[in-house]
Structure 1
């Protein structure tokens, strides 16, 4: 990012916040219609602006510090939590006010041309107190959701089971199970006991194979150290395998020297080994059961707009075209751009990266997240010409220190013969 980039971004955030604060205030004022205590209203309105200006300045300072340091610290995460909570709450209020404003403008036009105010310059009806009450009451729902997501939702681990059917799955692997974790982002954790509950839940699945699909840390290798012994207890009969994600390279933080960055990257790879994870760097291994085999491939990070370092061709060098193949690739855009149309059949790709944006709605009727505007396949299963992709919603969290509606995930995949 050039020198103007942070200035433009911070200015945009400032103007956006000013707009949200002003528009929300219009509804806030309407709540006090009919209140005769003029001095009391002035004090309440002054308190509103004092709080909102203080929050805005705190947020701007934090964004400036992030742009200067190149790192989102735990303190910065708390401010980002506040920013998102306030912003989503205000937008909810404004949706009601904007709908009311459309009606008010139409009513004004009607009064101007055909009503009693014809020829007098028009008449814009006052805001209705009821609409503002409804707006703030509704906004309390996402506000409460964000508070829950920040306090408890980010550790609300759940197991999602997915069965995938293949015609050419070797008979010996019919019923083979895989536990997948992704996006641990250890530098964001503050509650070790809660993290251990998630680790225990993953280990409890007792799958045949364990895989981790990238982003072990936020920035630095030592972030995983307090949790390494815990994750090392996850074991599977056919082994534990891992790959790198975009955060694992240490590219999003300033380093005193190139050598220190390289040393950090070496240490990160050593930690994979110390936890008992075989780190696959554009390579593959064979898994054998009852004389039959499947091939597990792993590539370095490859993603649209991120590192395109992974080399699928290199990982496929030893693969026989007839072999059943499972690929570990951190970013699901790799599947969209390269894997699903590759001439060699890669039967199943396991990814993460999106976190489901840590915010959204997933019900039997509604499935929505801002992540869908960036990634066509942002969570769960996808299929194209017999090739499957599964996107894990992530074990940890980053930037926004919470999860709302998109809970941390432990995936258990079962391979079945079609």
Structure 2
């Protein structure tokens, strides 16, 4: 029996879009009083908005296809641009009203011109992010100091990437540049902190030869992320879903990644040791599978420990206050929402309202968390202001 689709949400969306587009046209009319541009503007906006609503209706029946991806991205860019323009014009109108009470008369055109200039700039940023930004890999380096770091590991380096989301890749040459950049760091250890695929194990197959090139003297280690379990797609049976996960695990092994599933290994150097533990995904609202206690079984409370845990909410909920001190936790998951600003001393992304620690380094209780911004991308096929990251961390004795 076919599922009945309610049209009410789409009607509400249509009304909101209609009102916003009317407001945008009113703001543009101040700059361009001629009516010649309006039919073209209306035709373009109607085409994009109607295509977007059609894509949402088709999603329940057909799923995500090329039409859906192209339409959603076109709508997203235009929507953000129009929303930005509307907000700036509205704020300008409020400012004009306030200064009007003080006897000053400001032209509405000034605010519309400023809003249009800012909106066009943002539009260009989005286009750049979709074409080049999503593969603009950045190496971010951190040096961390510890009182109780074993002396043999003073100067030990590790490279971390996270959130590959291989099902989103389309440019093999660009991905290879990222792989070359990882190997160029010559770190002692390589770790991957989850989300190798978007949903299905076969997504990584075309890219296995690339990631198999990653090598480090002390090995390559990995964990699973929330997307790796196949929770976000429909399966013909529970068995098919289980088999998909088993296949993905074998792909880790084939690429030379030692997958840590609620367990730990011991790294040894010059007679001293360090514990590297990894848990299955534990995320607030994204599945609490990981068993930290199991991963630390047979470790000593005084051991120097590094933990791989995909979701940074795990650190807040369990890790930072765990009786057995975990010196450094490496996470990913947030992608920095692939949109934001990190420049001129500003660090902001909408994802901050969901995750207090969404990118970079955090220290509490003399324990560190580092959240990688992700190697790949998901949903929005681009990155604006939050670039794909390769993290290099050096451990130093205080």
In the alignment, which of 308, 312, 319 is matched to residue 332 of structure 1? 312
Q: CA deviation at 1:17?
A: 2.4
Contact 2:334–2:351 (CA under 8 A) maintained in structure 1: yes
Displacement of 1:4 after TM fit?
Answer: 9.5
1:73–1:396 CA distance, 2 compared to 1 (3 A): farther
TM-score after normalising by structure 2: 0.93
**How far 1:10 sits from its partner (Å)?**
4.4
After the TM superposition, which of the residue ranges 358-367 and 126-135 deviates more from structure 2? Answer: 126-135
The 8 Å contact of residues 194 and 228 in structure 2, kept in 1 or not, is answered as yes
Work out whether residues 153 and 404 of structure 1, in 8 Å CA contact, stay in contact via their aligned partners in 2.
yes
CA separation of 1:158/1:29 partners in 2, compared to 1, >3 Å: closer, same or farther? same
Name the CA distance, whole Å, in 2 between partners of 1:7 and 1:342.
49
Name the CA shift for 1:10/1:205 in 2 (closer, same or farther; >3 Å): farther
Matched, 1:22 2:22: yes
Gaps of 5+ in 2: none
Is the 2:302–2:324 Cα contact (8 Å) retained in structure 1? no
What's the CA shift for 1:126?
11
What residue in structure 2 maps to residue 252 of structure 1? 232
- Greater shift, 162-171 or 3-12, is seen at 3-12
CA 165–4 in structure 1, closer or farther in 2 if over 3 Å, else same:
farther
- The answer to whether the Cα contact below 8 Å between 1:303 and 1:331 also exists between their aligned partners in 2 is yes
1:196 aligned residue: 176
Question: Which residue number in structure 1 is paired with residue 353 of structure 2?
Answer: 373
> Corresponding residue for 2:39?
46
Query: Which consecutive unaligned segments of at least 5 residues does structure 1 have?
Result: 36-40, 115-124
The answer to whether the 8 Å contact 1:325/1:347 transfers is yes
1:328-376, CA deviations, whole angstroms, 9 ceiling, x for partnerless residues? Answer: 0000010011111111101100000000000111014211111111100
Asked if structure 2 preserves the Cα contact closer than 8 Å seen for 1:81 and 1:402, the reply is no
Contact 2:93–2:108 (8 Å) recurs in 1: no
Equivalent residue runs for 1:212-223 within 5 Å: 212-223=192-203
Of the candidates 89, 97, 101, which is equivalent to residue 97 of structure 1?
89
Q: How does 1:86-235 map to 2 (within 5 A)?
A: 86-103=78-95, 128-235=108-215
Further displaced range: 259-268 or 342-351: 259-268
- Partner residue in 2 for 1:311: 291
**SS of alignment partner, residue 400 of structure 1:** coil
Counterpart for residue 121 of structure 1: none
Shift in alpha-carbon separation, 1:104–1:416, aligned structure 2, 3 A: closer
Residue 74 of structure 1: how far off its partner (Å): 5.4
The answer as to whether partners of 1:330 and 1:353 remain within 8 angstroms in 2 is yes
Contact 2:96–2:108, Cα closer than 8 Å, also in 1: no
Distance 1:370 1:6 in 2: 30
**Aligned-pair CA distance for 1:107:** 8.1
The secondary structure found in structure 2 opposite 1:389 is strand
- C-alpha displacement at 1:132, in angstroms? 1.8
Give the Å deviation of 1:233: 0.8
The count of aligned residue pairs is 395
Pair 1:4–1:236, CA change in 2 (3 A): farther
Q: How far is 1:52 from its partner?
A: 0.9
Change (3 A) 1:77 1:172: farther
Relative distance call for 1:198 and 1:11 in structure 2 (3 A) is farther
Q: State the TM-score, normalizing by the size of structure 1.
A: 0.89
**Shift of residue 92 of structure 1?**
2.0
Give, in angstroms, the shift of residue 254 of structure 1.
1.3
Instruction: Say whether 1:401 aligns with 2:393.
Output: no
Match of residue 79 from structure 1: 71
Alpha-carbon shift at residue 50 of structure 1 (Å): 1.7
Change beyond 3 A, Cα 1:73–1:399: farther
